[in-house]
Amino acid sequence: MKNIFLSAIFAATVFVSACNVVGEPVEYANACDAGNNDKYIQVSGILEERGGSIFCSNTSGRMECGYSLLAKAGDKEGISVDLEVGGGANTADKPASGFKREDLKIRDNASQPVKLGDNVKLTGKVTSVKDKTDPKGGICYIKVYKIER
């Protein structure tokens, strides 16, 4: 019983602290600079599917689904952003197999719906930055903790 209680306290603490994450505002073009690796940033753009699909996993310690943050509507490539799966503020539902864009459920920090194609401001931790000149390509992920309009 004691372990369950301690686990619940820890989970509540992580949730509350994640909601209060503050990121340094950065321009979209600078979000994936190597100097931002392992830092919390705030960046704006257009939320979209990543490459026409959404992949969900819990390899980072929380269940999350991958989306893209585009500089402007119509861009083909963007920053990879991972949204936590859940039912509350700053989360997304895990999409069902064969989903349609309109089926996706994403919520901002006020638990209001966000649609693909919406302009959002995301706060999260930049991870896995690799130099874009690397022959294997640049890699950058943002683990999102706050979604704002």
Phi, psi of 45 (to 5 degrees): 175, -165
Q: Does some domain include residue 66?
A: yes
Stretch among 6-20, 61-75, 78-92 having the lowest mean pLDDT: 6-20
Burial 50-83 (b: 16+ CB within 10 A, else e): beeebeeeeeeeeebbbbbbbbeeeeeebbbbbb
Q: How large is the average pLDDT for residues 86-95?
A: 97
- Binned at pLDDT 50, 70 and 90, residue 40 comes out as very high
Residue 5 lies in a domain: no
Tally the domains of the chain: 1
Q: Which pTM was predicted?
A: 0.83
CATH of the domain at 89: 2.40.50.140
Residue-number span of the structural domain to which 121 is assigned: 23-148
3 part of a folded domain: no
The reply to whether 18 falls in a domain is: no
The answer to whether residue 4 is domain-embedded is no
132 or 140, greater pLDDT: 140
Burial of 16 (0-12, 13-18, 19+ CB in 10 A): exposed
Percentage of the chain modeled with pLDDT above 90: 68
**Mean pLDDT, rounded, for 20-29:** 94
